[in-house]
Amino acid sequence: MQVVYIKEDKFQYDIHSLYKAFYPDEDVRVIVGEKGSVPEKETDISPDDEISFIDVNRDKNELKRSIYKDLSAKTGKLLPWGDLTGIRPTRIAMNLIDEGMSNKEIHDYMRETYLVSEEKTDLAIDIARREKRILSDIDYENGYSLYIGIPFCPTTCLYCSFTSYPIGAFKGIVDDYITCLEKEIDYVADAFADKTLDTVYIGGGTPTTLLPDQIRRLIGYLRDKLDMSHVKEFTVESGRPDSITRDKLIAMKEMGVTRISVNPQTMSDDTLRLIGRQHTVAQLIDSFKMAREEGFDNINMDIILGLPGETEKDVQHTIDEIVKLAPDDLTVHSLAIKRGSRLFETIREKELKGELKVSLQYSMSNTGEMMEIARMGAKTLGLEPYYLYRQKNISGNLENTGYAKEGKAGIYNILINEEVQSIVALGAGTVTKRVFGEGGRIERCDNIKDVKLYMDNIEEMIRRKRELFERL
């Protein structure tokens, strides 16, 4: 464990994040006080732990630079994003562009202030300029976006961190769940009557666990109640290929859906089985081709780097197969499997039973090389990076990146990432975000995660939203 003592309660989060970036596999404790001021038994400190003392009484950037340099010298590591610990590094580039800085000035600033590599600064500038162009005709103040969560999936993937219930056991409540969504839509129709709806995103979960008639019912209600004439993008995540049928694709197309996701995560059947995604590569390819046949001309694919047992060679194979299918968007996620997580424990159990070809000693996190393979694949497909966010405590301090063809970028993805527009979120486990004017404060309200409790308390969910949007 890494233990850091600071005298004053300042910059605790930044210090913790920076230490975690250098020591992703270790616990990190930042303790306010002198050594000995907190009884060691209360902090689990053992004689083997490394203890540091940091004077926090200085400028935050200077403090972070000095910690970075110390830890880099100690570990021999260089972090591509330097000492930046926030999840939205493109926003800094965006602000600097708004201030009128040239690319060279931004490079100097990012290097001197945050020790960011030239390559990552290039990426941040490239994405920030593209985002600005894509969002140029969005009215942040008078517009809003809508998110609808469908919390059901065919089965639960072992790495899942979303609200998800297996559809088999929950299919009896889906119609009532849609009734609750309709009540929330009624609220939106009333409260946002004088606002412009810019984008709609139905996510989850897996929205394509709904039956074709349920898809028609939900989207039909939306179309009846809300003015959809300004909607620039209507996405439905159809993530799991084992939930996609031709009838559902036809229903979505009929109802005006413009963008879908068909997600492989990997093109290895062995890995799919290992991570509990109960579909095959062949099913993915069939679903993708079926979606093309039904006229979908904006299809996203999600992949995950750092899946258990996968090497650069596996990632290259996944990318080669994806290039053959030629999706319009490609979203590249990083996965760091934490010790103690359900996926980690499942793999270990299987390994102990001798059921696995892979071993835990293989890479369990992505590498810069894997990200480069994905970047090159996107380039081959003519896709450009258009949004980027970093997960906290990702090993190697790497990022998740969305790539898209010109004109096919997911506008909603940028809006949620940059937090520039209010997003009203309906359904169990969703979070509504209100942005108070451009550059203004952001406040949130959430819907209960448990699907049955959400349904039992639907009036309360609506009351929370009303209270958030009536607040001054």
Which residues are near ligand SF4 by CB under 6 A? Answer: 153, 156-157, 160, 162, 164, 204-206, 239-240
Nearer to ligand SF4, 167 or 315 (CB): 167
Nearer to ligand SF4, 143 or 204 (CB): 204
At closest approach, how far in Å is the CB of 434 from ligand SF4? 25
At closest approach, how far in Å is the CB of 165 from ligand SF4? 9
Nearer to ligand SF4, 164 or 417 (CB): 164
At closest approach, how far in Å is the CB of 203 from ligand SF4? 9
Cis upstream peptide for 382 (omega within 30°): no
Q: Phi/psi of residue 300, each to 5°?
A: -95, 150
Task: Enter the tokens of residue 202.
Answer: 């139905």
Nearer to ligand SF4, 89 or 264 (CB): 264
Nearer to ligand SF4, 80 or 239 (CB): 239
**Cβ(35)–Cβ(54) below 8 Å:** no
At closest approach, how far in Å is the CB of 3 from ligand SF4? 35
**Cβ(428)–Cβ(149) below 8 Å:** yes
Sign of CA pseudo-dihedral 48, 54, 60, 63: negative
At closest approach, how far in Å is the CB of 237 from ligand SF4? 8
Question: H-helix or E-strand containing 52?
Answer: strand 50-54
Say which residue the tokens 């070809």 belong to: 357
Name the DSSP class of 10.
-
At closest approach, how far in Å is the CB of 278 from ligand SF4? 10
For residues 200 and 416, give the distance between their C-alpha atoms in angstroms, rounded to a whole number: 12
Task: Enter the tokens of residue 169.
Answer: 């056991």
Nearer to ligand SF4, 98 or 446 (CB): 446
Question: H-helix or E-strand containing 414?
Answer: helix 411-418
Nearer to ligand SF4, 162 or 221 (CB): 162
For residues 84 and 120, give the distance between their C-alpha atoms in angstroms, rounded to a whole number: 11
Overall residue count recorded for the chain in this entry: 472
At closest approach, how far in Å is the CB of 343 from ligand SF4? 11
For residues 191 and 194, give the distance between their C-alpha atoms in angstroms, rounded to a whole number: 8
At closest approach, how far in Å is the CB of 330 from ligand SF4? 17
End-to-end Cα distance, the chain:
45
Q: Cα 428 to the chain's mean position, in Å?
A: 18
Nearer to ligand SF4, 63 or 150 (CB): 150
